Structure 1
Amino acid sequence: MYFVPMLNLNDLILFATAVEHGGFAAASRRLGVPKSTISKRVAALEEELGVRLIHRTSRSFVLTDTGRDFHEHARAALIETEAAENAVRRRVAEPSGNVRITCGVPTAQDYLAEHLPALARAYPRLHVQLDVSDRRVDLVQEGYDIGVRSHFAPLPDSGLIQRQAFVETIVLVAAPAYLAERGEPQHPRELALHDGLLTGMAGNTLWTLSDDSGQRVEVEPHPRMTANEGRVLRAATVAGLGITVLPERMCRGELEDGRLRRVLPAWNAGRVTTTLVMPHRRGQLPSVRATVEFLIECFSKM
């Protein structure tokens, strides 16, 4: 097996530029390459081909017939080379392949569901695989690219890349009918006289509230219902069973159409942060970076 020697692509570029700009001096100015270098490389090209491509004197620069034919094909080859390079760069630049995302059920329902179709339209060569589960997921061991995590306290330093997506205030809400029947509390202490729809385990009945001044107070409403799923609490609150605390966006529609009202609007029950986390190596992939930037842009408009 043997290889046929190929022409130097750089020599083709120097030759074509000299032809298209009318001489070595003009090509030198165009490319920033010394005139003598261009002249020597074109001479070497002619020697390699065994033909004269250019009749040149101190006053003239004229292609031979063979030179004209060679320039036509050389220029076509350079165009195809540029097109091949651009095709590769486009493929590298355009996100493609699989991106595995894991998140909890509320995050999928309330945040990702409306944005993933737009992501798919923006990057048609991207295949998003969303695993919705409330179990604890090890991104590295299980091969996930992105984890979407909602949390009240800062995430531990786990060696993962972290990108904060958004922060939501947790507000107190109740149905107008409930407030009309039981009265509207004017201070957090009065919540002890009200029915509370509680989040999490049945043993946790305290709400820690704070206001803009930094004042904090713990209150304990009468536990009427406990659930670890926000939509269940939202539906129970709309039904008039009591007062609950929810991320503001989760109940924004009900607040806007009047099915729910803010209770003690100067107070809140904390804030929940949603963060995108990625293993370091996976986070460097163009497909993963593009997905993260797209989602963060979407979340910033919520």
Structure 2
Amino acid sequence: MNLNDLHIFVQAVESGGFAAAARRLRIPKSTVSKRVAELEDGLGARLIQRTSRSFTLTDVGRDFYDHARAAVIEAEAAENVVRRRQVEPSGVVKITTAVPTAQFRLAERLPLLARTYPKLRVELHATDRFVDVVQEGFDIAVRSHFAPLPASGLVQRRLAVESIILVASPGYLAEHGKPRHPEDLSEHDGLPTSATATTWKLRGRSGEAALVVPRARMIADESIVLLKAAIAGLGIVCMPETLVRADVEAGRLVRVLPGWTAGMVTTTILTPHRRGQLPAVRAVIDFLMEGADAA
């Protein structure tokens, strides 16, 4: 079946006649009439009852129109996907995110993005304060969160979900011993994020839970500070896997209680609905999502 014939048939129906469809398509009326007639011949069914005064769909014509219109829409969508990729994204895309997310999730990806799309300019604003994406004119927000985000009218795409794990330096574990059970942590130094977060809620592989209170050796609400403190041997720290992966792979940190986690953190991309459809913004989102899949 010729897709062009489906397109002409749909236009004829939506225009209310062959003459109107011909004007919309900028082709002769005789061509519209001929293509619809050949479509009907190929199907062996009358789709349109037409006289000099009326133009109505038959019962089978109405059913055929519903499917033909869907096929045309899908074909146009497929074409648009290719065209969007052929057009090189350009312009400014403004991103806001928290400092740790910028450092550990975006710092390596954004230079690759700039090389892939040289006509695209990203403006990254890293801050730990809450940013109103719409009011402050941002195209994209990348947020890491422990609980579901509240409804905001922004389009959400989940970038990653990862465990929060416990790590310490080999030197610290050599000096203080390696915890075998969660309750052992009460005899160890911990590196909490605040004076009110000194109790760690752990969960095992089988779903069992444990509340532990290590000795607060040092408190800081900044990830890099806590990471450096752990590497320096000051104690055990709870951090998302992404933040400690390089140091674990390099041997500067070691996983503690590998069967237990301290919760999950989700990273989500948010965009205002209309701005998310812009080619440049769409390209940045797709690039970040591809990076998440590769990781």
Q: What do the CA deviations read for 1:42-82 (whole angstroms, capped 9, x no partner)?
A: xxxxxxxxxxxxxxxxxxxxxxxxxxxxxxxxxxxxxxxxx
Give the Å deviation of 1:289: 1.3
Matched, 1:160 2:181: no
Q: What do the CA deviations read for 1:224-261 (whole angstroms, capped 9, x no partner)?
A: 01111111111111111111111112111221222211
The equivalent of 1:254 in structure 2 is 247
Percent identity for Structure 1 against Structure 2: 57
Give the Å deviation of 1:33: 9.5
Give the Å deviation of 1:109: 1.2
* Aligned positions of 1:1-302 closer than 5 A: 93-199=87-193, 201-302=194-295
Unaligned runs of 5+ in 2: 1-22, 38-82
Give the Å deviation of 1:124: 2.1
Give the Å deviation of 1:293: 1.0
Structure 2 distance, partners of 1:247, 1:253, is: 12
Quote the RMSD (CA, aligned, Å).
2.8
The equivalent of 1:56 in structure 2 is none
Give the Å deviation of 1:285: 1.3
Max Rg structure: 1
Q: Secondary structure at the match of 2:217?
A: strand
Structure 2 distance, partners of 1:184, 1:91, is: 52
Q: What do the CA deviations read for 1:65-115 (whole angstroms, capped 9, x no partner)?
A: xxxxxxxxxxxxxxxxxxxxxxxx679943222111001111111111111
Structure 2 distance, partners of 1:202, 1:268, is: 21
Q: Structure 2 counterpart of 1:128, which letter?
A: V
Q: Secondary structure at the match of 1:128?
A: strand
Q: Structure 2 counterpart of 1:170, which letter?
A: I
Give the Å deviation of 1:120: 1.6
Unaligned runs of 5+ in 1: 1-7, 15-27, 35-88
Give the Å deviation of 1:204: 1.8
Q: Secondary structure at the match of 2:219?
A: strand
Q: What do the CA deviations read for 1:175-229 (whole angstroms, capped 9, x no partner)?
A: 1111111111111011011110112x22221100001111111110000011111
Q: What do the CA deviations read for 1:133-177 (whole angstroms, capped 9, x no partner)?
A: 111100011111100100011111111100000111111111111
Cα pair distance change 1:126/1:193, threshold 3 Å: same
How many residues are matched?
Answer: 228
Structure 1 distance, partners of 2:284, 2:84, is: 17
With structure 2 as the length reference, what TM-score do the two structures score? 0.71
8 Å CA contact retained: 2:105, 2:242: no
